[in-house]
Structure 1
Amino acid sequence: MKPTRKTYTFYCVVLIHHNSLVITWEHSTMVRSRHDLRHGWQFRETLGNSSTETPWFPVQVVPTQIHMDLLANEKIPDPFLNLNELEVRSLAEKQWTYRTQFSKPSESASEPSAMTDLVFEGLDTFATVWLNGTKILKSDNMFISHRIDVTNLLKDTNELEIKFDSAMLRGRELVEEHSHEHTFYVRQTEVSRVPVRKAQYNWGWDWGPILMTAGPWKPVYLEQYVARIEDFWTEYEVSEDLQTCSGRIIAKVSEANGQSIRVLLSLNDSVVFEKDCTVSSSGIAEASFSLAQPELWYPFTHGAQTRYELKASLGSDDTMSKRIGFRRAQLIQQEDEFGKSFFFRINGNDVFCGGSCWIPADSFLSQIPEQRYRDWVKLLYDGNQNMVRVWGGGIYEHDTFYDACDELGIMVWQDFAFACASYPTYKSFLDSVEAEARQNIRRLRWHPSLIIWAGSNEDYQVQERYKLEYNYEDKDPQSWLKSTFPARYTYEYLLPKILSEEDRFAIYHPTSPWGDGKITSDPTVGDKHQWDIWHGAMNRYQEAFRLSARFISEFGMEAYPHLETIRSMITVEQQRYPGSMMMDFRNKAIDHERRVAAYVNENFTVIYDIASYTHLTQIVQAEAMHFAYKAWRREWGQRKCGGVLVWQLNDCWPTMSWAVVDYHLVKKPAYYAIRNALKPVSIGVSREYHDWTSGHVNPTESLKDSRFDLWVVSDQTQTLQADVTVRFISIQTGQDIRPPMRLESITLNPNSTTEILKDHDITENSMEIQDKLQSFNIAELDPYVIYATITIDDSTISFDMYWPQPIKYLDFSDRNITIRALEDHKVAISAARPTKGFVIEETRDVNLSDNGFDIVPGQEKLIEVVGTNIRSLRYTYIGAPEGSMPLIA
């Protein structure tokens, strides 16, 4: 029986404030209060029906997950070290119980009519909850929260107990239980993950370990109130001319029928909209609003990140607020000469999306502090990356992640939590998916950074691989349920239906990759995961220009992390060499050593000590990023390619993978290559691709070819005037083989590509250069680099450098490197001859202004070093006489 209700007066205020929308609800009797149950927990292994009791161990803090608690109690070795992952895999089949005692909140005595809810923001994953011996909850979805009215169950002292079953064993049981109605296909580890609504990467992936977590992975707390605001949000449209923003502010309120709520919208502390509204019998309060000349939210590459404050007040004691942004977002898919476009238009501006794919930042999600999320998003911003794709095999990310994206202007592509499988559609599964989708859409819909939702990751590739039934012309969702690919119902009917109901102006894409029912590898429509580099045909990265698509939402190249990370994850010194058992075990990619070796051997002279080989893998990855981002961004001028997202930004544990920044947030050279390619104004230079390994090809062609292309890509909305200089520098002597080309007052097209030179031949009017380049005597060849710079208002803002390919054919002896320490934590680096792949060994306590760069004679490269003693750093480069050397001797 619920306590007797009193009548109260409520106030609702809505404000719009500097790039934020804040809603506050206040009520006049009792302050809504929260009591976190963080401390005083214990855990133990549960032995099923056995009468044997296992000992209890202390839990440091909740949120938590079982591996963290076992590690804190020294019951397991650190799974992130050496081969220790193998030692803890058996934990996946165990059951665990968590318990705590807590006192009844004191507010209950002062306000007998108050409600008390017990809130679980997330339980991982199969959980049964008892309060004082009464079962109050049974949950089977990691992605949803639970709120239970425990007002009449509380005592002066209370005991809360949660039992977690094995997700792996329960998954296997579900596969068996539903095998008569569905065939479970899966890529990446075992099939038991498919019917379980849990982060799929816990079963292991080709970049992460098998670490099956369990526990209260999000906060657990008591909340007391007489009335409360459950949720509030805006539903709005920005007009095509951007002059008005109109819509509704909506609040859902509990226990306040007929009362008044005030909503308030403010900008820069000035109220721009305010209204009192009445809570209906369904608990909804609405206020229509219209703003003239709204200040809009833009990705950081195209404008300011204005956010309004939205506040809702229920009386004087309960206030909630959010910082929201208004923007007009469109996905432009139009027929054109290349097929069908795929790019985003934000507030009327076409936006090239350069960025990364995101996986969970840790195998143990509960140990990620909020600041670490902010640090990751800041890396995107600092790296000129304006979009991040939250991959479907992980989670719907922490609120702090999206807030940081809002603040810094990073667009978010959000996958629903499905990846690389054929998912079932039996009723209990779909019911759970619906609850999951609605909760997470409601949680995230107010973030201006969230630009697009996608139904899954690569599930239609599974459909293709196993030849599951798919007739794009069949538009009957009920018939899809009867096919061998019933998950189509989820991606093409259920999820878009839910999204339209919860956030009706949101952009939805059925899956990634996807293109109007065509095969997922079709480059003319939709987005594409371009894995013909590394996977598939293992094309050379120099062929990236041939591998474009309308939007490349995945591609990548593996590399080792820096040496500090390798030493920290492999503590056995004798195992720190390329191809050791522990090094191989860390890398989860199929055929990883074969593929890494192929790309290294094809392009560089191989040295196999750990420092040198690490350096080579990093330069291979950086070169792949350089060729791909430069070539594909060049196509933005014709909107042929609308975006490029590398797989992947980050790691979930210390390892070697496709990540361009390692688990400890230490940047690989590839990160800087992407940053340079995505500069607001970026110059590019390329030469014709010449194969050097197939059959009877002439391997000297690349060294002798004298033609090149030159272009500039700008994401600026205004026309610019620029000067361009192109040098041609002998790799052997460091001298210019001909006078530089100087192109003055070049007009750069706004938000487009300006093609400056096409197939230009430097031997025109120069028989001497032509004769030098045509020699078949290797000793007489004088290969050169092309070094192009662009200057605006006497400031060099971008450069590019093209080397004859492959690099291993070039002589890098005697580069004559000079390094000078300057004031203000700077070093000046110069070379007498063109130098390739200069890498400073980064560590966790250092921040560099650039790394993995090339050096040309006649110029000093200035590098700012923050956070460490410069003299502690070491460096190397292609052809260095040793593996690494002190940066400052």
Structure 2
Amino acid sequence: MKTYSILVITVLMLMSCRPKHDVPVAIDLHSNWSFKAVNDSLWKPASVPGNVHSDLLNNKRIEHPFIGANEDSLQWISDTDWEYKTSFSVAKETLNKKHLSLNFKGLDTYASVFLNDSLILKTNNAFREFSVDVKSILASENNLRIVFERTSISEEHDKEKLNYQLPEGNRIFTRKAQFQYGWDWGPKLNTSGIWRPVTLNAWNDFKLESIQVTHQKSANSITKLFLDIKKISSVELDKNLTYEIYINDELYKTSKDVFKGYSWTTQVDIKNPNLWWPHNLGDPYLYDIKVVVKNGNSILDSISTKKGIRTVELVTEKDNHGESFYFKVNGIDVYMKGANYIPQNSMQNQVTDAHYEKLLDDVVDANMNMLRVWGGGIYENDIFYDLCDEKGILVWQDFMFACAMYPGDNAFLENIQLEATQNVKRLRNHASIVLWCGNNENSEGWHRWGWQANRSDEEKEDIWNNYLKVFDSILPNTVKGLTDIPYWESSPKYGRGNPKYKTEGDAHDWWIWHDAYPFEHLEKNVPRFMSEFGFQSFPSYEAIRYINQSDTINITSESFKNHQKHVRGFQLIDEYMQRDFPVPTNAEDYVYVSQLLQAYGITKGIEAHRRARPYNMGTLYWQLNDCWPAVSWSSIDYFGNWKALHYHAKKSFDNIIVSTSVENNSLKTYLINDGLKQIDVHNEFQMIFNFDGDMLWTRNFDATLYNTSSILINELDLKDLDIDYEDVYVLTTLNGKSYISYLAKPKDLKLKKAPVNQTIAKTQKGFKIFLHSTTLQKNVFLQANAKGHFSDNYFDLKPGEILEIEFETDAEHLDDLKIKTLNDLID
């Protein structure tokens, strides 16, 4: 009895000493949703976050919009008003909190929100977050209803306010993902719905709203971190507050200073900090920072963020050529290598964390260090930027304006101001973001695409002044006021019709593709920074089979044609193919060669850009990924399959490469080093072989690869050699790697037919494949029915070598490996 009493007393004492916490709570309201068309009576289950297209699909009310020509029959969805509803209970403890608000992270787009039959909110921007105080309305049992009005109603109303017509269509009036209205690589699926989380937020006397972390280098290898914290609290509580700051889970600082007012700034010193670097130059180190606020022993709230300590500068300086455009990170001139990124799915809720992880792993694997988030999509989910931070991928972030001129009335401008403020605040702690860009091609369109034709001077002045209000005032002022990230008004700075496109700013070179210029144009017209250029190819066989719902590779069906959104797409692919490659007569081979064609042209541009360093300091091709299965400019198709371009770009983007070009019968050889270390190489070789492997010419060389440089190490006059350009390849060795190049176009090569011998061995992760041939095999393409990833593909196999390729897959057997080469297509 005595022992029991002591135990009870001890427990009661421990309970009385335990800190009492009164932290804010956020309750997800993602359950029990249903939806219907406003003029219907039948409710069906809905997913939140989600969208109406996904909900209709999940309820088997529509066929999948990505299959065949189903997209065409689904346009009624965006011409319909939709309604969502749910019911939810609130516990008494939560209901008794002093402050209760509903938070909507994203409603797409014109929504009326009713709580317990009271209209509490009307929205008009899918990119904004909305919060509503519901303390006076919330009950223990609640009904939440959201009505989405079709976009055309507001668009037509806003259009009538103008006495002229703006390019490009009614999408310009609605602040939502512009690509949903249809693009030359994506479907017209203008969806609506609750596309981001909905939460009920409850708190009493204290709530932390946000944290911004900036830094400043000082003397003695110390970096000062400045924590700017925004909070809401009662005045009576302020005098009792203390805070603790943890860095990497270690208590760095504690204080009993009075924490007054809405904004509070404090400083933490980091000695000898680890810097954040893009992954190809160093470790993308992140500090975990956490702030805990207490009232005595009671925790009131805490907030966390990750911080990469790095500096970034966009350098635009006049020089002998025009004006530079390059980025300095931590004081180092960084060459940017990568691609343009678009939304991963026309139905955003279908994009999982695993999709983000895989795609961004593929970016790193291909030696890219920058992605440009294109302005016709979305401000991405937090996980995208979190992973870019962790993986060391730099982000060029567009504001969401693309290929149009936008209105400038006060309501629209106020909407944009709030949109910009919210998104810059949300993203400003991310080390990966190194640029905010106002728009994609709006300025070029106005000055070059005929948008000014048949307009009065007054009209043109009004439209351009509205442009300046947004992109020369609101957006740059917002960025400058909230962050230290550089701002760039419009990409590109000049359209390709202006000769300055090669000498100043960033460039979009669409002479390739749209104007059908030959790929050699890219070698002779190098800009200061190439932020867009591209070429289409067909997707994987998997994607084609999915589109057609058939095992046959059919690229002429009406179903498949619907997935080519460029009006001249098929024609241009064929035109370029006839210039540079043998043109196959069957569909399967044609798809294969289309990917080789894309890789051939784009890597020709990539390497020309890199050879021109430091005149050129970046090359971002269009585009990385797809939002649906399609014929497009992507290097990774909708199902995550690497096209030939992604494999070839991986080699062309490597930090250290050999790159050659042929000009006027002269073979020029460059060594390129984007790394931070100088490398001295000795007794390397450059050789010319025929396709049987006989050496026709050789030389050895020593060289110094200076850090962050491109150097021309040799010019060889080919006229002095007794060789047939069509029957040879050039092999250069460097640091244990071999680099193969050619002196003639692929279609002119006198390739020989011979088998590719294979040996397959099972491994823990899949299979090892050993390949061998007696002649050079060009563009070896490996394929299997099993889902998986080849470590290399579309590669060249030297005569006599044994090449090892890994195939990562869950399959237990690999009995159906198929091999295709360009040799097979040569007559």
The corresponding residue for 1:726 is 686
Residues 773-808 of structure 1: per-residue CA shift (max 9 Å, x gap): 4xxxxxxx86211121212xxxx14x3322233221
For residues 595-629 of structure 1, what are the alpha-carbon distances to aligned partners after superposition, in whole Å with 9 as ceiling and x for unaligned? 01011111122113221011010100111122111
Q: Quote the Cα distance in structure 2 between the aligned partners of 1:485 and 1:617.
A: 44
Please name the residue that 1:835 is paired with. Answer: 777
1:57 aligns with 2:32: no
Decide whether the 8 Å contact of 2:68 with 2:558 is kept in 1. Answer: no
AA paired with 1:44? K
In the alignment, is residue 860 of structure 1 matched against residue 785 of structure 2?
no
The residue aligned with 1:135 is 119
SS across alignment from 1:379: helix
Matching residue of 2:9: none
The residue type paired with residue 55 of structure 1 is L
Aligned equivalent of 1:502, options 475, 479, 482:
482
The 8 Å contact of residues 559 and 658 in structure 1, kept in 2 or not, is answered as yes
Q: Which residue pairs with 2:414 in the alignment?
A: 431
CA distance in 1, matches of 2:26, 2:740: 58
In the aligned structure 1, how far is the partner of 2:703 from the partner of 2:278? Answer: 27
Task: Determine helix, strand or coil for the equivalent of 1:204.
Answer: strand
2:618 paired residue number: 643
Q: Which residue of 1 aligns with 2:662?
A: 687
1:747 aligns with one of 685, 696, 704:
704
Is the contact made by 1:164 and 1:215 (CA closer than 8 Å) also made in structure 2?
yes
- Post-superposition shift, 1:169? 3.8
> Which residue pairs with 2:12 in the alignment?
none
Q: 1:761 aligns with which of 717, 722, 741?
A: 717
Answer whether contact 1:35 1:223 (CA < 8 A) is retained. yes
2:634 alignment partner, SS class: coil
Distance change (3 Å), C-alpha of 1:708 and 1:263: farther
Query: Which residue matches 2:819?
Result: 875
Deviation at 1:481, TM superposition (A): 7.5
Residue number among 106, 126, 138 corresponding to 1:122 in the alignment: 106
Deviations 1:253-308 (CA, angstroms, capped at 9, x unpaired) = 12244256555555544444444554433x21211344343221110111111111
**2:190 corresponds to which of 192, 209, 212:** 212
Question: Does the alignment pair 1:105 with 2:91?
Answer: yes
* Pairing 1:127-166 to 2, within 5 Å after superposition: 127-166=111-150
Matched, 1:365 2:348: yes
> Counterpart of 2:502 in 1: which secondary structure?
coil
Structure 2: state its 5+ residue gaps.
Answer: 1-17
Separation in structure 2 between the aligned mates of residue 33 and residue 329 of structure 1, nearest angstrom: 36
Q: Structure 2: how far apart are the matches of 1:801 and 1:261?
A: 67
Question: Structure 1 pair 645/466, CA: closer, same or farther in 2 (3 Å)?
Answer: closer
Partner of residue 76 from structure 2, selected from 70, 90, 93: 90
Q: Contact conserved, 1:577 with 1:609, CA < 8 A, in 2?
A: no
Alpha-carbon distance in structure 2 between the residues aligned to 1:167 and 1:499: 29
C-alpha spacing 1:275/1:642, structure 2 compared with 1 (3 Å)? farther
C-alpha contact 2:104 2:198 (8 A) present in aligned 1: yes
Residue number in structure 2 paired with 1:393: 376
Alpha-carbon distance, 1:128 to partner: 0.3
Is 1:442 paired with 2:425?
A: yes
Q: Tell me the distance in 1 between the aligned counterparts of 2:120 and 2:102.
A: 10
Aligned equivalents of 2:590 and 2:470: distance in 1? 45
**Match 2:396 to one of 413, 416, 439:** 413
Q: Secondary structure of the residue that 2:654 maps to in structure 1? A: coil
Deviations 1:747-771 (A, max 9, x none): 111110121102x12564xxxx53x
C-alpha change, 1:861 and 1:595, in structure 2 (3 Å) is same
Q: In the alignment, is the contact (CA less than 8 A) between 1:553 and 1:644 conserved in 2?
A: yes
Change (3 A) 1:823 1:516: closer
Q: Which amino acid aligns with 2:745?
A: P
Question: Which one of 188, 199, 211 corresponds to residue 177 of structure 2?
Answer: 199
- Could you tell me which amino acid in structure 1 is paired with residue 699 of structure 2? M
Q: Could you say which residue in structure 1 is the equivalent of 2:64?
A: 78
Q: Is the 8 A contact 1:666 1:842 kept in 2?
A: no
1:819 correspondence with 2:794:
no
| Residue number in structure 1 paired with 2:36 | 44
Unaligned runs of 5+ in 1: 1-25, 48-52, 471-477, 690-704, 774-780, 884-889
Partner of 2:745: 806
Q: 1:878 to 1:225 in 2, by over 3 A?
A: same
Partner letter of residue 783 of structure 1?
D
For residues 307 and 260 of structure 1, do their structure 2 counterparts lie closer, same or farther at Cα, with a shift above 3 Å needed? farther
CA distance in 2, matches of 1:267, 1:845: 42
How many residue pairs get aligned? The number is 793
**Deviation per residue, 1:425-478 (Å, 9 max, x gap):** 1011011100100000010000000010000000011211356789xxxxxxx9
Q: How does 1:545-556 map to 2 (within 5 A)?
A: 545-556=523-534
Match of 1:615 in 2: 592
Match of 1:668 in 2: 643
Q: Would you say the 8 A contact 1:422–1:463 is kept in 2?
A: yes
Match of 2:789 in 1: 847
Match of 1:526?
505
The equivalent of 1:599 in structure 2 is 576
Structure 1 residue 790 and structure 2 residue 734: aligned? yes
Residue type at the aligned position of 1:787: L
AA of the residue aligned to 2:137: L
- Looking at structure 1, the residues matched to 762 and 805 of structure 2 have their Cα atoms a distance apart, in angstroms, of 11
Any idea what SS the aligned residue of 1:880 has? helix
Deviation at 1:811, TM superposition (A): 2.7
How far did residue 139 of structure 1 move?
0.1
Q: 1:242 to 1:654 in 2, by over 3 A?
A: farther
Do the aligned partners of residues 27 and 352 (structure 1) sit closer, same or farther apart at CA in structure 2, a change above 3 Å counting? farther
Deviation at 1:675, TM superposition (A): 0.7
2:563 alignment partner in structure 1: 586
CA distance, structure 2, for counterparts of residue 722 and residue 27 of structure 1: 64
How much has 1:37 moved relative to structure 2? 1.2
Give the alignment's Cα RMSD to 1 decimal. Answer: 2.6
Q: Paired residue for 2:547? A: 569
Partners of 1:28 and 1:317 within 8 A in 2: no
Q: Distance in 1 between matches of 2:94 and 2:425?
A: 30
Q: Which amino acid aligns with 2:471?
A: Y
Q: Which amino acid aligns with 1:819?
A: Q
Q: Quote the offset at 1:845 in angstroms.
A: 2.6
For residue 870 of structure 1, give the secondary structure of its aligned residue in structure 2: coil
- In structure 2, C-alpha distance between the alignment counterparts of 1:649 and 1:834, rounded to whole Å: 30
Cα 1:155–1:634 change in 2 (3 A) is: same
Give, in angstroms, the shift of residue 496 of structure 1.
0.6
- Opposite residue 542 of structure 1, the aligned amino acid is E
Partner of 1:699: none
Looking at structure 2, the residues matched to 43 and 423 of structure 1 have their Cα atoms a distance apart, in angstroms, of 33
CA distance in 2 between counterparts of 1:517 and 1:607 reads 33
Supply the AA of the counterpart residue of 1:591.
Answer: R
Q: Which residue of 1 aligns with 2:675?
A: 716
Pair 611,686 (structure 1): closer, same or farther in 2 beyond 3 Å: same
Q: 1:142 to 1:842 in 2, by over 3 A?
A: farther
Percent identity, aligned pairs only? 28
- Point out which structure has higher relative CO (alpha carbons under 8 A, 6+ apart): 1
> 1:800/1:27 Cα in 2 relative to 1: closer, same or farther (>3 Å)?
farther
1:249 counterpart residue number: 227
Is the 1:263–1:311 Cα contact (8 Å) retained in structure 2?
A: no
Is the 1:564–1:843 contact (alpha carbons within 8 Å) kept by the matching residues of 2? no
* Contact residue 667 and residue 842 of structure 1 kept, 8 A: no
Task: Classify the secondary structure of the residue corresponding to 1:624.
Answer: helix
Letter paired with 1:487: Y
Alpha-carbon offset, residue 826 of structure 1: 1.2
1:473 aligns to what? Answer: none
